[in-house]
Amino acid sequence: ILGRSAQNLCRLNLADIVHADDLDAMKSADGHGIDWTRRTSPSEHRFLCEDGSTRWLRWTVSMVDGDISGKERVFGVAEDVSEARRLSDEMLYQASHDALTGLINRREIEARLQRAIESAGALGEHHAFLFLDLDQFKLVNDTCGHVAGDQLLRQITGVLLMHMRGNDWMGRLGGDEFALLLERTGVEEAIRIGERLRRALSASTFSWEGSAFNVTCSIGIVELRGASEDVGHILRAADRACYQAKEDGRNCIRVYQESDLAMARRREEMAWVGDIRQAIADGRILLHAQRIEALDGSRQLNYEVLVRLRDLNGRLVSPDAFLPAAERYGEAMAIDRLVIAMALRLLEDNPPHLSRLNLCHLNISAQSIANPEFRKHVADVLDSSVVPARKLCFELTETAAIANLAHAHEFIDDMHSRGCHIALDDFGSGLSSFAYLKNLSVDILKIDGVFIRDLANNDVDPILVQSMCSMARSLGKTTVAEWVEDRKLLAQLRMLGVDQVQGHGIHAPCALADMISGVPRRESADGLTGFRPR
């Protein structure tokens, strides 16, 4: 294994063939020698080959009776696990790095940022987090194409790395957004470093097929202290500061002030509260739908009902814009009630469609799950409707279900008793997903799209998806892969054990009325006419 002869090995001490770092890890607590009596379990260390290279060996040792001289002897068995180690390291690298630039990816950025936040709190250290956004990236992409855009991102990565300090790290958040962490650095020093990076980019030129582009960036800075909230807060704050830099003319730096984000978010959410109430009164809450396709070739009709809001200018508003405000200020339950009433009314008015329908998925907010009056209301509505309960599936997000576990149990039991199905949405998004699953008697698992969108480009997500599907199958649950943007993924998803798929690559959302009439049009501002609540 090590390319050494038996005679050569007999003349060497362990210290001569074990990597120095691993040798230190083997030593006893007092640092004097190795306590062989404690090394009975297999362990993996790096050993030095004759040619100076290293090999990973998994080895087990045990004490044996001493020889005539009374010296203790150790018997060991070793296995070369270098290739397994290499594959494991490669998988970890692919899972934590951006394939285009070689920088760490968003997942790893968030993990490292979390550790930095913890060290700031525990050790009283100050770090600086920089959010860097290119100013004219879209111009290059639109003018020269995505290949040029990719090359620009690689060039920018090289420029930034050349002007960073050795102990700092940089990652790509996605698109043309980058993140940098300056360890043990205050705001003033962070501004100086940010200026150096900004000037370096401004001085660089990107050339492509005879065209030359000057590249600039806007930078937002957030200081990490012990009082910092969490990863999400830091990212939002840095994004807000970067947005302010763009508002102030681009190619500049802005530092986040504690009041900025909270005040802006609260103003935006408070504005939405009135808009939501007025939209309900005006009949501007709309229902759209997206098909869910089975991978076994069956032609079952399944879809998820999606809520939209038409603003006063006639534009459709995504739920991401108004639902957080609805949840925060107590309007989510009113939306849930309205959506259920509207969906049931449409189904009741279209018996041919209802007879073909297998499952209609309806989303339920965390606010509604926790409210006993809402459960009673839904039960009363179902009891008075001609729509068979078995054709309805209520979707609860994993985070909402776990946050309201006792209430989630009650809601699930109530709906199951009437024949409804229950789906757990965004499955896998929480650290304890698998542990909680056995305590939630759901029928369908909708696998979080973060595991699906990059499935073809790394080796880790397929393993995770296959594990989820295997576990779901053993528990008798159906799996749905979300965010499927390309039908080319279907063969791989089928092989991993996924039962159903959903996403823009399968079906672009359309007005529910169009879905029911059999003339589904793509989602647009000219979609479904609003309903007024009865």
The CATH number given to 265-517 is: 3.20.20.450
Mean pLDDT of the 71-99 span: 79
> If pLDDT is split at 50, 70 and 90, which confidence band does 302 have?
very high
Cα–Cα distance between 530 and 371 in angstroms, integer? Answer: 27
Report the alpha-carbon distance of residue 164 to residue 166 in Å, rounded. Answer: 6
- Mean pLDDT, the chain, whole residue set: 86
DSSP for residue 416 = H
The DSSP code sequence of 314-358 is S-EE-HHHHHHHHHHTT-HHHHHHHHHHHHHHHHHT-HHHHHHEE
pLDDT, tens only, 360-403: 999 999 989 989 999 999 999 999 999 999 999 999 988 788 77
pLDDT at 35: 62
Same fold, 93-256 and 265-517: no
Q: Is the pLDDT of residue 520 over 60?
A: no
Question: pTM for the whole thing?
Answer: 0.54
* CATH class belonging to 93-256: alpha beta
Please report the pLDDT score of residue 532 as a whole number.
33
Beta bridge partners of 303: 291, 360
Tens-digit pLDDT profile for residues 237-283 = 899 899 889 888 899 999 998 766 555 666 676 678 889 999 999 99
Taking only the tens place, the pLDDT of each residue in 167-178 is 899 999 998 999
| φ and ψ of 128, to 5 deg | -125, 135
**pLDDT higher than 80, residue 135:** yes
Q: Are 72 and 18 in contact (CB under 8 A)?
A: no
Among positive and negative, which fits the CA dihedral 425, 430, 435, 439? negative
* Per-residue pLDDT band at 530 (split at 50, 70, 90): very low
Instruction: Write out pLDDT tens, residues 100-119.
Output: 999 999 999 999 999 999 88
Of 113, 105, 111, residue with least CA distance to 129: 113
How many CA atoms, within 13 angstroms, populate the side-chain half-sphere of residue 281? Answer: 7
Angle between helices 332-348 and 372-384 (to 10 degrees): 10
Residue 34 backbone phi and psi in degrees, to 5: -110, 130
Query: Where do the structural domains in the chain lie, given as residue ranges?
Result: 6-80, 93-256, 265-517
% the chain with pLDDT above 70: 88
Would the pLDDT of 494 be above 70?
yes
Most confident option among 197-211, 230-244, 352-366, 512-526:
352-366
